[in-house]
Chains A and B, each alone.
Chain A
Amino acid sequence: MNDVKDLLNTNYIDEFVSIAGTEPFNSAIELFNQGMDEYLNGCRKCFGSCEFEDAAKELHKLKGAASSIGLARVMKEAKVAELKLLEERDAFDLENEICVLKLMAESDLIALKTYLVNK
């Protein structure tokens, strides 16, 4: 079982909530959910057209979005995937990576919401 500190950037979350409150943080989580699908679909599309740099940019955006709401594990995974895609290009197993990222995000978002509720 992963410790919550492995999944979330709790220092950042605590700081944000103490300054801005939980409402903007919840709105940010909603935006992340919408954005994640867009980034992954965009990545898939670019990958299909062999535009690997653009596909990597979508993963980069996902990484930034994850860090903005303190999803540390998703952020690291997206960062690794971005670098691997640029290295392996058409040999990169994108679909598998998308599955991993989606599952990870789903699970870590539950952990995040639980963390916020317990604060």
Chain B
Amino acid sequence: MNYFERVQKQIRYIIFQRSVSMITISTGIWVTLLVSALYWVLLLYLDDGFYLIDLCMPLGVGFLFTTVATLLLSKFFGKLEEERRLFSQLRENELQLKSSLAKTYIEIINQRDEKKKLSQDHARLRGSFSNEKQQRQATQAALDEQRIFNNAVIGLTPDVILFRDVEGKVLGANENLLKLLNANDNNEVAQQLELGGVTAEAFTRGDAEVKEKLTDLTYEVHIDNLVFQMRKRPAVNAANRLVGIICYGHDITELKHEQALIEQSSQAKSNFISTLSHELRTPLNGIVGLSEILLGTGHFKADDLRNLKAINVNAVTLGNIFNDVIDLNKFERRTFAVAKENVPWPDFLESLETLARLMAEQKFLTMDYSVEGQGFDYVVTDATRLRQMLWNLITNAVKFTVKGGIGIHVKQQIVASELEVSIAVSDSGIGIDKSEQQKIFDLYYQVKGTKQATGTGIGLHVTKELCLALGGRLELQSELGKGSVFTLFFKFKKGESEKHLETKNKESLNIMLVEDVDLNILVASSMLKGLGHKVVPAKTGAEAIQTFKEGSFDLVLLDMQLPDMTGLMVADELRKIKKIPMIALTANALHEYGEYIKHDVLDVITKPLSVKKLEEVLTRYNIRNLV
């Protein structure tokens, strides 16, 4: 209650009190007067005399009574009012107390709720803390196990392991590395790396590249007569920030040695096969050639003619078997290459028919031949290999047919300046079971249980490989007991006649010249451009690789000594991108010829470059026609 309310209340109280007094007094006066009047009337009626005392006595009593009443009533009402005020005050206090109590109660409830919530939070935190503690303990245990495992792996591995931070500071070296470098601890390893030299370079090579690109790097190094394959990996943390470099070195000395032995053995085998083939082919060519001459004379009787044809056919067959063996060897050594040329197509098909008839006649089989559609006069393909494939298929058709005949059906059509050709070689022979139709193209596989299963077992395998090398496909349809159809599918570009070719023989080539000496670049480029070729120089191995990727070249002339890598290393990298003819340019013959061949470098020209030497090489490898 504020001051004004209190004043207002006080004023009301005073007015009330005065009002009660006024009412009591006025009531008293009127009652006094009334009673007095009645007394006087009564007195006058009953008494003879009216004295002053009779007049004053009722008034006096009345006023006395009024005064007493007024006082008493005032006191009474005052008390009453006071009680009422007190009561009101008490009520007010009670209300205030109640309100205060309610507030306190609410506060208590809130506090209780808060306490409960705190208690729950506490319990949850405690639980969470307990979980976290358990998790941390579990994680720590796992980390400890991992560390033990890692230490075991690092300790047991035969490899050398080096871990350095981003600045190159040595953070860890395993026991094998310490042994290799004759060091006792990381500090001694660090000292050796700081000294520089071959050993340090072995571990620091390519650091900048690994740090910049955040990719692995693999390379080979020689350390103390050992060969290591080094593998570098950037160590990045969870935030993908580089924290160091790990270097693993795996000793491949034995492997290299074995590889060299295998290569040696393989080379020896290749040489043997090449030599043998050459030695055997010469007399074989004699047999084929002479038999063809004799067949052309027409001097023989029917029986003798048949025998002569048999000699001719068998000699050609033997020649093809040699070809298969040589090509198989080339496939294995990945040195096989097709040699496309302009082939007179109608003549090719005619000779195919002639040969097939000859073979069929030997076993008294019929030969059905047809050509459907229009073709080019000349096509670009490897005629020798195509002939070899078809010869294999025809030989098999005749071999596996006892009665009936064989067929050669050619379908061709010109589509968008290419000749689409299918050549189907069919027979009415023993057929091939479905379960064996895929396997028959496997090397050395022969269909079991057939008396015809004689032969090298490589013919169909080589045929399929040759087909793929020429960009074609080979399909088989066969039914056991009914016969087989082997179909070759090719797309040939249109070829040109020899006359037309002569004028184009000196066609210009796009040549990449890899040479670091400006003078040599000037001289070689001037000469090559003078001959009508286009020349793009590259002065380092890295530049050569980039230029090769971006350009299209017919020939690479490759210096053997470049600032950043050897010519043979460049050759290896270029080979991975695309196989095109590469010729080494060198002042000295640095390697054995076989070494160049291993790296797919066709030949070597000694500097200075001369027209004669260049033309010799271009012609020897038919480089213009490989373009």
Does B bind A?
A: yes
Chain A residues near B (Cβ < 8 Å): 9, 12, 15-16, 19-21, 24-25, 27-28, 31-32, 35, 57, 60-61, 63-65, 67-70
The 9 A-B residue pairs with the shortest CB-CB distance in the complex, in nearest-first order: A19-B530, A20-B526, A24-B526, A20-B530, A31-B519, A68-B523, A67-B608, A64-B587, A65-B519
Query: Please, which residues of chain B bring their CB within 8 A of the CB of A69?
Result: 519, 523
Do A15 and B518 have beta carbons less than 8 Å apart?
no
**A-B contacts at CB below 8 angstroms, number:** 61
Beyond A19-B531, A27-B522, A28-B523, list 8 extra A-B contacts (CB 8 Å): A12-B610, A16-B526, A21-B526, A28-B526, A60-B587, A63-B587, A65-B517, A69-B523
User: A68 to B529, alpha carbons, bound, how many Å?
Assistant: 16
- Closest CB-CB distance, B617 to chain A, in whole Å? 16
Do A68 and B527 have beta carbons less than 8 Å apart?
no
Query: Please, which residues of chain B bring their CB within 8 A of the CB of A32?
Result: 519
B112 in contact (CB, < 8 A): no
How many B residues touch the partner, as a band?
A: 10 to 19
Do B529 and A35 have beta carbons less than 8 Å apart?
no
B547 in contact (CB, < 8 A): no
23 interchain pairs (CB within 8 A)?
A9-B608, A15-B527, A15-B611, A19-B527, A19-B531, A20-B526, A27-B522, A28-B519, A28-B522, A31-B519, A35-B517, A35-B519, A60-B588, A63-B587, A64-B517, A64-B587, A64-B607, A65-B517, A67-B587, A67-B608, A68-B523, A68-B607, A69-B519
B229 in contact (CB, < 8 A): no
Q: Considering only CB atoms, which chain A residue lies closest to B529 in the complex? A: A20
Secondary structure type dominating chain A contacts: helix
Do A12 and B529 have beta carbons less than 8 Å apart?
no
- Closest CB-CB distance, B198 to chain A, in whole Å? 13
Q: Considering only CB atoms, which chain A residue lies closest to B532 in the complex? A: A19
- Closest CB-CB distance, A68 to chain B, in whole Å? 4
Secondary structure type dominating chain B contacts: helix
Query: Please, which residues of chain A bring their CB within 8 A of the CB of B587?
Result: 60, 63-64, 67
Do B526 and A64 have beta carbons less than 8 Å apart?
no
Do A61 and B527 have beta carbons less than 8 Å apart?
no
Query: Please, which residues of chain B bring their CB within 8 A of the CB of A63?
Result: 587
User: A86 to B611, alpha carbons, bound, how many Å?
Assistant: 33
- Closest CB-CB distance, B540 to chain A, in whole Å? 15
Do A16 and B607 have beta carbons less than 8 Å apart?
no
Q: Considering only CB atoms, which chain A residue lies closest to B531 in the complex? A: A19
- Closest CB-CB distance, A103 to chain B, in whole Å? 21
Q: Considering only CB atoms, which chain A residue lies closest to B530 in the complex? A: A19
B186 in contact (CB, < 8 A): no
B520 in contact (CB, < 8 A): yes
User: A67 to B610, alpha carbons, bound, how many Å?
Assistant: 11
- Closest CB-CB distance, A31 to chain B, in whole Å? 4
User: A61 to B517, alpha carbons, bound, how many Å?
Assistant: 8
Q: Considering only CB atoms, which chain A residue lies closest to B519 in the complex? A: A31
- Closest CB-CB distance, A12 to chain B, in whole Å? 6
Q: Considering only CB atoms, which chain B residue lies closest to A16 in the complex? A: B527
Of B520, B561, B588, B612, the residue contacting A68 (CB under 8 A) is B520
B587-617 vs A, Cβ < 8 Å mask (1 yes, 0 no): 1100000000000000000011011100000
Q: Considering only CB atoms, which chain B residue lies closest to A35 in the complex? A: B519
Q: Considering only CB atoms, which chain A residue lies closest to B611 in the complex? A: A15
- Closest CB-CB distance, A2 to chain B, in whole Å? 21
Q: Considering only CB atoms, which chain B residue lies closest to A32 in the complex? A: B519
Do A19 and B519 have beta carbons less than 8 Å apart?
no
B524-554 vs A, Cβ < 8 Å mask (1 yes, 0 no): 0011011100000000000000000000000
- Closest CB-CB distance, B604 to chain A, in whole Å? 15
Query: Please, which residues of chain B bring their CB within 8 A of the CB of A35?
Result: 517-519
